[in-house]
């Protein structure tokens, strides 16, 4: 919600007027000097939208503010061209409406278009979000990173490395939305105040690493796709792509990282396939390359890659992980009920590469149980069990 600055207004006053943390107001207006507002400037107020209201008989600004528990000066601020002493029935005014519910509806088939739409809506309501394009998929879809927070600790979450594990994206997006609602409404999540997380942690999220693959599983190959004939051939002519893990070129993105990639190459598929083909060389695919470049740029302190399925948390890679990794994974297990598993027989994965390269904690979290793609009937249970992991990733 945008407001126009009046003489004497400050960001601190807006934070008090709308009961929003001052730092969120400051971060929502990065181009504005918070110490020197100018009348007429546009200021974004996070966590609010403008709501049109048609005046009824007997209504006044005071009665509306009292009935709806709105700040009276907020009404005056949003309706500067309206004389509050001369209101008319049928006249339209604007109300500052606090957003208290989730925008993201995660329990549905969640393709790339849905992701982009939700990100735009979240940006509009929570402008302190930083969104950046970190690369493109094979078919040219922008790969998005979302960042929020101002802390020294750098934490990264990602999902949908594998196409038929797409449910990880709405799980991550639901957490992101809940986190934003809690920040702007000064709420707790499971009894934890999230304000310290924002101050102490910079959270990076890539919610969909493999958008081409996700769309293939959910929607089938697009009529205009240059890979349409090829994916049908790799899928043995079948229209059902539920078994597809790879990107649109038939490369498994979580077999693409330079952590003993040669070992994985020898024991995996030797040609493009719906799953388990590591490609011709490490980081040959633009999606994997984009994530590796992001990781080098951000220098994360820990990373969590969300996959399905098995209700396990894989940690450690050939003793490259630091001692603190075990303490963290035990907390993840405590809050989720998932089983921690060390040293699974796997190489060339994102988590493996991160631990080998930086000797910092990395985790692969396998959400839910069953056959991929998991049924949306599991969504609520998956989210509730993973919520503790999302939070512990910030406070541990």
- Active centre residues (catalytic): 366
- 85, 49 Cβ separation under 8 angstroms: no
**Dihedrals φ, ψ of 56, to 5°?**
-105, 170
Place of tokens 């403008």: 50
Give the residues across from 158 on adjacent strands: 206, 305
Residue 59, CA distances (Å) to 30, 31, 93 in order = 38, 38, 11
Place of tokens 């490259």: 320
- 301, 153 Cβ separation under 8 angstroms: yes
Q: What 8-state DSSP symbol labels residue 374?
A: P
Place of tokens 């999902």: 159
- 48, 76 Cβ separation under 8 angstroms: no
What's the half-sphere exposure (Cβ side, CA atoms, 13 Å) at 277?
18
CA gap 103, 121 in Å, rounded: 8
Q: What 8-state DSSP symbol labels residue 280?
A: S
Helix, strand, coil content of the chain in percent (nearest 5): 40, 20, 45
Q: How many CB atoms lie within 10 A of CB 237?
A: 7
Give the residues across from 205 on adjacent strands: 146, 157
């Amino acid at each position: 919600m945008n407001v126009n600055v009046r003489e004497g207004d400050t960001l601190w006053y807006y934070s008090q007027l709308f009961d929003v943390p001052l730092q969120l107001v400051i971060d929502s207006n990065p181009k504005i000097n918070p110490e020197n507002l100018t009348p007429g400037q546009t200021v974004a107020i996070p966590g609010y939208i403008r709501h049109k209201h048609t005046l009824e008989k007997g209504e006044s600004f005071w009665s509306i503010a009292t009935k709806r528990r709105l700040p009276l000066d907020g009404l005056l601020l949003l309706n500067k061209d309206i004389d509050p002493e001369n209101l008319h029935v049928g006249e339209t005014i604007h109300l500052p409406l606090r957003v208290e519910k989730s925008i993201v509806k995660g329990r549905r088939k969640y393709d790339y278009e849905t992701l982009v739409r939700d990100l735009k809506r979240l940006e509009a309501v929570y402008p302190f979000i930083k969104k950046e394009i970190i690369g493109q998929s094979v078919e040219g879809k922008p790969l998005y990173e979302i960042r929020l927070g101002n802390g020294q600790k750098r934490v990264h979450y990602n999902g949908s490395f594998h196409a038929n594990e797409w449910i990880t994206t709405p799980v991550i997006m639901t957490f992101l939305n809940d986190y934003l609602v809690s920040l702007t409404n000064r709420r707790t999540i499971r009894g934890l105040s999230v304000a310290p997380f924002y101050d102490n942690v910079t959270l990076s999220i890539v919610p969909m690493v493999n958008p081409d693959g996700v769309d293939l599983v959910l929607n089938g190959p697009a009529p205009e796709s240059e890979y349409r004939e090829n994916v049908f051939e790799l899928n043995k002519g079948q229209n059902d792509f539920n078994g597809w893990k790879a990107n649109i070129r038939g490369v498994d993105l979580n077999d693409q990282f330079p952590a003993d990639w040669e070992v994985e190459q020898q024991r995996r598929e030797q040609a493009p396939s719906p799953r388990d083909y590591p490609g011709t060389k490490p980081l040959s695919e633009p999606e994997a390359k984009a994530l590796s470049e992001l990781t080098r740029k951000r220098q994360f302190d820990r990373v969590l890659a969300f996959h399905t399925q098995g209700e396990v948390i894989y940690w450690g890679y050939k003793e490259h992980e630091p001692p603190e990794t075990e303490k963290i994974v035990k907390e993840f297990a405590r809050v989720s009920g998932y089983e921690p598993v060390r040293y699974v027989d796997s190489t060339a994965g994102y988590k493996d590469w991160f631990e080998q390269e930086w000797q910092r904690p990395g985790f692969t979290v396998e959400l839910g149980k069953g056959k991929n793609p998991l049924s949306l009937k599991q969504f609520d249970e998956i989210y509730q069990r993973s919520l503790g992991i999302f939070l512990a990733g910030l406070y541990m």
